[in-house]
Every structure is written in structure tokens, then in C-alpha cells.
Amino acid sequence: MTQVPVADGIFTWPSAEPQLIGSQCGECGIVTFPSQDSCPRCASTAMAEHLLARRGTLWAWTTQDFPPPSPPYAGAGGKAFEPFGVGYVELPGEVKVETRLTTADPNELTPGIDMELVIVPFRTDDEGNEVVTFAFRPAGEAS
Ligand SMILES: [Zn+2]
């Protein structure tokens, strides 16, 4: 099965150690994710690609217990839907990333724990490709 990223320019793929693709302002140094053409802080257009750290800490999270509105949500709906965790992972010195989490188990998720970027299957498209997206998992979790 061919794996294709859910969107171009979100993360490096294929890669043994994928990284999220953000941007950094050449004027004030702020880091954004996703990448932006102009700086949200100083409005400079001197934005350069910036690959983000693969590890961070869990800042806040919740559980998505029902399918989000579609579009933009393009994952499984109806009975095929499985609840998943969503949250913010703070990458040190970079940015807080809004992300899917690999678990929605409160016993595994505590603010401040180490989190690691992973690429996970998301859905199968009409051509039979496996669409993959990014998520963060607790860094101590077995793969
Ligand atoms: Zn700026």
C-alpha cells in the first residue's frame, strides 16, 4: 500500500525521523506551525522554512469523542469513528503545536510529560493509498 501525506508541506515524508515543517521569521525570530508567508507577530514576509523538534512536552489536551465537522475533517465518521486525543505539544523554544494524540487515555496523558512525533495512518483514499498524518505519542510508550 502506498503511503501519502495528508497534505504537502506539513511534515517531511518519507523519512525515518520525520519532522514537522514550520517557518521562522527572519526579523523577530518567532516560529510558526504550520508555516506562514508572513509573520503573525511583526508582519514581516522574511519567513524561512524551519524544521521543528521531534520532541516536546504535553501542554494541554482533550478527547475528541465525536467526528468533527466534515469538511474539513476527512477521517472516518459514523460507526467507524474512534475517539482520539487532541492537544497542544510545546516544542521547547519553538511553538505550541495543535496535534492529534495517539491515545485518549487519561492514565497516559499528564501535562508536562515528554511527547514524540509519529506518523500514523489516517484513512484510505479513493485510489487505495494509505493517507498518513502526524500525531504525538507519550515518549515512553512502546512503538
Ligand atoms: Zn516577525
Instruction: Between 54 and 75, name the one with better pLDDT.
Output: 54
CA of 43 to the centre of ligand 1 (A): 6
CA of 88 to the centre of ligand 1 (A): 22
pLDDT value of position 93: 95
29, 93 contact by CB (below 8 A) = no
* 66 vs 77: CA distance, rounded Å: 8
CA of 84 to the centre of ligand 1 (A): 34
| Residues surrounding ion ligand 1 at CB below 5 Å | 25, 27-28, 39, 41-42, 44
CA of 32 to the centre of ligand 1 (A): 10
Got the DSSP string for 35-98? --SS-TTT----EEEEEPPSEEEEEEEEEE-SPPPTTT--S--GGG---EEEEEEEPTTS-EEE
Q: Which of 41, 17, 37, 27 is nearest to 95 (CA)?
A: 41
- pLDDT of residue 122 exceeding 90: no
Per-residue pLDDT, averaged over 80-109, amounts to 93
CA of 33 to the centre of ligand 1 (A): 14
CA of 35 to the centre of ligand 1 (A): 13
Q: Tell me: the pLDDT tens digits for 30-64? A: 999 999 999 999 999 999 999 999 999 999 999 98
* 113 vs 138: CA distance, rounded Å: 7
pLDDT value of position 70: 80
Place 22 in a pLDDT band, splitting at 50, 70 and 90: very high
CA of 25 to the centre of ligand 1 (A): 5
Instruction: Between 33 and 83, name the one with better pLDDT.
Output: 33
pLDDT value of position 76: 79
Place 80 in a pLDDT band, splitting at 50, 70 and 90: confident
